[in-house]
Amino acid sequence: MDIQEIKQRFGIIGNSSELTRAIEVAIQVAPTDLSVLISGESGVGKESFPQIIHNFSHRKHGKYIAVNCGAIPEGTIDSELFGHEKGSFTGALNDRKGYFEVTDGGTLFLDEIGELPLSTQVRLLRVLESGEFIRVGSSQVQKTNVRVIAATNVDLTKAIRESEFREDLYYRLNTVPIKVAPLRERGGDVLLLFRKFASDFAEKYKMPSIRLTEDAQKVMLNYRWPGNVRQLKNITEQISIIETEREITAACLIHYLPSENIEILPALYNRGLDEKTFSSEREILYKILFDMKKDMNDLKKLVHEYMDDSPASNVHDDKAQTFRKLYRESEEDYQPSPPYSAPVVLKSSGHDNIQDTEEFVEESLSLEDKEIEMIRKSLDKHNGKRKLAARELGISERTLYRKIKEYKIG
């Protein structure tokens, strides 16, 4: 069976070299009884690899059990894994077999292995080294023949340094390591996964499949995807259900991405706006210039406040010279280019011929005016249809309505 057939059998989507290599290692180690440690971020699809290993091993006719160690309370984890005797603790009304006993001859997948308590780690190490375990509340040693495959989304070497994970257990589990790459490092796999999920949800909800514009595809490829495949599937389902338009633009897609990760997205150019309309990049430039103007004004106030309050003339002269120098340097550094106006020099302030500057004459620097202008042009272009105007501006219809009311746009 080749790699492509294995991907189809186990529902793995992607053509990246990292993903292919991980599958190849899983197939190679499957016929052995070596312990395997699968590492990777949450949501990358680590659970598929233990199934590949089990189904291509001589244990494929035995039981396969997956256990999420992070979901079991610390007080009951030993009982779940190794079983218990009747009366060994409150609530132990009967004898109970643990997973190691039930899975004898098969494969046990321990997900989130880093969440195991240290006391349980000692028990697990003994099973891996000798195949022996003891039920909770018992003194009888039992044998088991179980292959253990573990997975983690945390850095176990860091956990070892912080005394949260046993080093000997780590090396016993990490006989064969498999690293599953995060979605952001798998290139075009994100688009393949999106199309697959979009097709699945279209069939599930009986509606046409959604598709991405070119700009939206760029956003997909540049987004970090901290939740990996799980997050992509969740967002694809949301868009499939909520959006009425089946063609998803970049502006629409961004609304479904968590804001704390938006900063890594590329700046978008809205091709539908005319040349006079300010793009997002130009608005960023306006903000920088506006901040520079504010800094200049603050410096001017600081100079004059000091001169007005300073009582000693000799101290006044020395420090005034220092402020003059700083003030002149700041003016030299700030050289606005058209269409922005340069500072207008007024009459002497009366303090050692230090020249004052008035507020910058920069009508074109007002973000509020430009925002009003953009909203009006977009509304005119779409004959007052707010939904279309909001989409073109890259904001929600609710935000557009609020701004129309705030700026009193007729």
**Percentage of residues of the chain with pLDDT beyond 90:** 60
CATH second-level architecture of 3-181? 3-Layer(aba) Sandwich (3.40)
Residue whose structure tokens are 């070892």:
160
Question: What three-state secondary structure class fits 67?
Answer: strand
Mean pLDDT of 108-135: 96
Measured distance CA(122)–CA(101) in Å, rounded: 17
State residue 264's pLDDT score: 47
- Class of the CATH-defined domain 185-264: mainly alpha
The pLDDT-based confidence of 347 (bands split at 50, 70, 90) is very low
SS3 content of the chain, % helix, strand, coil (to 5): 50, 10, 35
φ, ψ at 179 (rounded to 5°): -105, 120
**Percentage of residues of the chain with pLDDT beyond 70:** 75
355-385 pLDDT, tens digit each: 444 444 444 446 777 788 888 888 888 888 8
* 173 close to 209: Cβ distance less than 8 angstroms: no
pLDDT at 245 over 80: yes
Q: What is the dihedral of CA 110, 115, 119, 121, to 10 degrees?
A: 40
CA 2 to chain centre: 33
State residue 40's pLDDT score: 96
144-178 pLDDT, tens digit each: 999 999 999 999 999 999 999 999 999 999 999 99
pTM assigned to the model? 0.63
Residue boundaries of the structural domains of the chain: 3-181, 185-264, 287-364, 366-407
Q: Mean pLDDT over all residues of the chain?
A: 82
The pLDDT-based confidence of 329 (bands split at 50, 70, 90) is low
CATH second-level architecture of 366-407? Orthogonal Bundle (1.10)
Structure tokens given for 206: 């009986």
Comparing CA positions, the residue from 355, 367, 242 lying closest to residue 307 is 355
Q: Which of 11-15, 53-57, 283-287, 394-398 has the lowest mean pLDDT?
A: 283-287
State residue 144's pLDDT score: 96
Higher pLDDT, 308 or 214: 214
φ, ψ at 42 (rounded to 5°): -65, 135
50-89 pLDDT, tens digit each: 999 999 999 999 999 999 999 999 889 999 999 999 988 8
* 135 close to 80: Cβ distance less than 8 angstroms: no
The pLDDT-based confidence of 282 (bands split at 50, 70, 90) is low
Crossing angle, helix 3-10 and helix 48-55, to 10 degrees? Answer: 120
* 399 close to 277: Cβ distance less than 8 angstroms: no
Structure tokens given for 66: 């997956």
Query: If you ran DSSP here, which 8-state letter would residue 360 be given?
Result: -
Higher pLDDT, 174 or 2: 174
* 57 close to 107: Cβ distance less than 8 angstroms: yes
The pLDDT-based confidence of 91 (bands split at 50, 70, 90) is confident
